[in-house]
């Protein structure tokens, strides 16, 4: 059943070993570095119970209310519902939060699609993933997905250096496996559980490996330590309105001989399963990740357009062209999300995946062009985002009058609103928090080269080959023995869309 914010807070209080800035945290829900983002996650839980949001944030299945974000996607409507729910959350919290659960639970659905792969080594592993899929629906935990490893020496196999550099199994017991190593994961210090799996497919040539392991980790487990980076939240919110509300704290999670019960093990010493999950990990979760970029684009457009309008620069053609570039970036992301739903495709387990080529192409474009769009927005906001005094200067009796004079443009744009807008734009585009978010977007799901690798694996190469073969008058020899030999020159996704639509119409006519 859906949780409340109070239940979530209670679930993360206790005996966790959490460290930040060289100090141990006694209560993660109250510490100033964590409290704002914990409050946002709690707010999301509470929204599910409120009349204004209940129908948007939840759905009813088998007589129970479940979070829309956790619902297994089986129809296009499911994806539209998820998109609307995410927009509703981001509007309510007035900003962008990425690691709040809905965007990481989808990574388990990828393994749900690979149950046949898991069953090859042990049918219990396939049953475990199905159990956890439904456990997430029933218990509504804050679920994250353990993300990446300490890098170590990449020229060496894990076994040829400090064995703990990558997470691995050190022994088996009747109760489960014992693991040691480390993982980086955003939000781990204040989440409930993590889907922990290998990041770097470098296990040597052995068919089995102690490093090829995936499991659900209860983040209250004994033996875990959370070493967090310094937060951005402990500042004046008048000067840093985004960082102080939406900073999601990244954590190095140390696994010091942590017991993982057998029922939480999803695969173990199974390199094929590990390879499968690395190749398919983001087939669902990329959708929510890309959707966040859409909201970032809205923030850049709003900040840039307000800054241009306050001084009348929005009437200049050169300014309008730059604003149009931001609009094109935003609409490009929206178009790929919309197409990914409209041209969605069935998965091996019978779920409905967003169209993989559209989704991964949208992800690459959104992430690879973000720095350019930030630069355009920075140009439109102007140099005042880096020279404006802080909020305290606008209130000091000896400086207030001067700042009110020089920061007021007209009756519509007085000093207080201009200061607030410039502080927002600075935090979005020019602060250390802004730089952190830019790097996070580049690497949060995988390195940029992997974004293109996913496009390469999922693009339909055969239709363009078939089109050029016909257009150039090439012989059948050039496609002999390849899928392109039987391909149509028509766009495969559009062709399938009309095929499914026509089949549905025929079925309805037959039923009548």
Q: How far is CA 277 from the centre of its chain?
A: 16
How does DSSP assign 207-247, residue by residue? SS-TT-EEEEEETT-TTEEEEEPPPS-SS-TTT-TTHHHH-
Categorize the per-residue pLDDT at 316 as very low, low, confident or very high, splitting at 50, 70 and 90: very high
pLDDT recorded at residue 202: 59
Instruction: 321-329: list long-range contacts, CB under 8 Å, 24+ apart.
Output: 322/376, 322/379, 322/380, 323/380, 325/373, 325/376, 326/297, 326/300, 326/301, 326/373, 326/376, 326/377, 327/301, 329/297, 329/366, 329/369, 329/373
Helix (H) or strand (E) holding 260: strand 250-261
Q: How far is CA 25 from the centre of its chain?
A: 26
pLDDT > 70 in the chain, percent: 98
- The length of the chain in residues reads 512
Least confident interval from 254-263, 333-342, 445-454: 445-454
Who wins on pLDDT, 270 or 100? 100
Indicate whether 324 pLDDT > 60. yes
Distance, CA of 455 to CA of 290 (rounded, Å): 14
Query: Across residues 112-122, what is the average pLDDT?
Result: 83
Instruction: Find where tokens 């309105």 sit.
Output: 241
pLDDT recorded at residue 274: 80
| Sheet with 224-228, edge to edge strand ranges | 23-24, 17-20, 224-228, 250-261, 176-186, 168-172
Longest dimension (CA), the chain: 84
Indicate whether 46 pLDDT > 80. yes
Who wins on pLDDT, 22 or 504? 22
pTM reported for the whole predicted model: 0.92
pLDDT recorded at residue 200: 62
407-438 tens-digit pLDDT: 999 999 999 999 999 999 999 999 999 999 99
47-71 tens-digit pLDDT: 999 999 999 999 998 888 999 999 9
Q: Please check whether residue 191 is in contact with residue 144, taking contact to mean a CB–CB distance below 8 angstroms.
A: yes
Indicate whether 485 pLDDT > 80. no
Indicate whether 130 pLDDT > 70. yes
Least confident interval from 22-26, 205-209, 353-357, 506-510: 205-209
Query: Across residues 358-387, what is the average pLDDT?
Result: 96
pLDDT recorded at residue 481: 80
């Amino acid at each position: 059943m859906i949780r409340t914010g109070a239940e979530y807070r209670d679930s993360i209080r206790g005996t966790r070993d959490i460290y930040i800035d060289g100090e141990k945290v006694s209560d993660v829900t109250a510490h100033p570095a964590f409290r704002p983002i914990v409050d946002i996650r709690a707010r999301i839980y509470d929204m599910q119970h409120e009349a204004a949001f209940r129908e948007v944030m939840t759905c009813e299945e088998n007589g129970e209310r479940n979070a829309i974000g956790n619902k297994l996607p089986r129809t296009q409507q499911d994806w539209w519902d998820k998109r609307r729910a995410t927009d509703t959350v981001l509007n309510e919290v007035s900003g962008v939060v990425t690691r709040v659960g809905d965007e990481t639970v989808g990574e388990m659905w990828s393994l749900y699609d690979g149950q046949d792969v898991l069953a090859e080594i042990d049918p219990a592993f396939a049953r475990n993933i199905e159990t956890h899929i439904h456990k997430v629906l029933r218990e509504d935990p804050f679920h994250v997905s353990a993300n990446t490893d300490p890098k170590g020496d990449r020229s060496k196999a894990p076994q040829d250096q400090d064995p703990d550099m990558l997470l691995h199994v050190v022994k088996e017991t009747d109760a489960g496996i014992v693991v040691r190593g480390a993982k980086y994961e955003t939000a781990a210090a204040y989440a409930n559980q993590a889907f922990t799996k290998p990041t770097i497919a470098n296990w040597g040539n052995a068919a089995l490996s102690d490093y090829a392991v995936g499991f659900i980790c209860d983040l209250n487990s004994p033996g875990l330590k959370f070493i967090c980076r310094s937060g951005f939240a402990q500042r004046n919110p008048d000067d840093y309105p985004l960082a102080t509300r939406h900073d999601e704290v990244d954590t190095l999670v140390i696994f010091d001989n942590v017991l993982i019960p057998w029922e939480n093990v999803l695969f173990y010493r199974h390199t094929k399963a590990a390879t499968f999950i690395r190749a398919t990990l983001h087939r669902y979760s990329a959708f929510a990740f890309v959707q966040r970029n859409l909201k970032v684009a809205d923030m850049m457009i709003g900040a840039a357009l307000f800054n241009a309008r306050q001084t009348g620069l929005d009437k200049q053609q050169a300014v309008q062209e730059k604003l149009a570039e931001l609009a094109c970036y935003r609409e490009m992301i929206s178009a790929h999300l919309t197409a990914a739903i409209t041209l969605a495709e069935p998965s091996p387990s019978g779920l409905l995946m967003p169209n993989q080529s559209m989704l991964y192409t949208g992800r690459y474009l959104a992430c690879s062009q973000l720095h350019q769009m930030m630069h355009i927005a920075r140009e439109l906001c102007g140099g005042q985002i880096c020279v404006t005094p802080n909020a305290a200067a606008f209130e000091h009796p000896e400086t207030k009058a001067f700042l009110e004079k020089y920061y007021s443009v007209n009756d519509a744009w007085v000093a207080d609103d201009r200061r607030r807008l410039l502080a927002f734009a600075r935090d979005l585009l020019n602060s250390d928090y802004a730089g952190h978010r830019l790097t996070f977007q580049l690497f949060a799901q995988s390195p940029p080269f992997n974004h293109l690798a996913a496009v390469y694996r999922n693009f339909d190469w055969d239709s363009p080959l078939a089109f050029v073969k016909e257009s150039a008058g090439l012989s059948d020899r050039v496609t002999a023995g390849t899928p392109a030999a039987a391909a149509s020159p028509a766009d495969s996704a559009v062709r399938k869309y009309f095929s499914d639509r026509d089949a549905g119409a025929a079925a309805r006519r037959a039923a009548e």
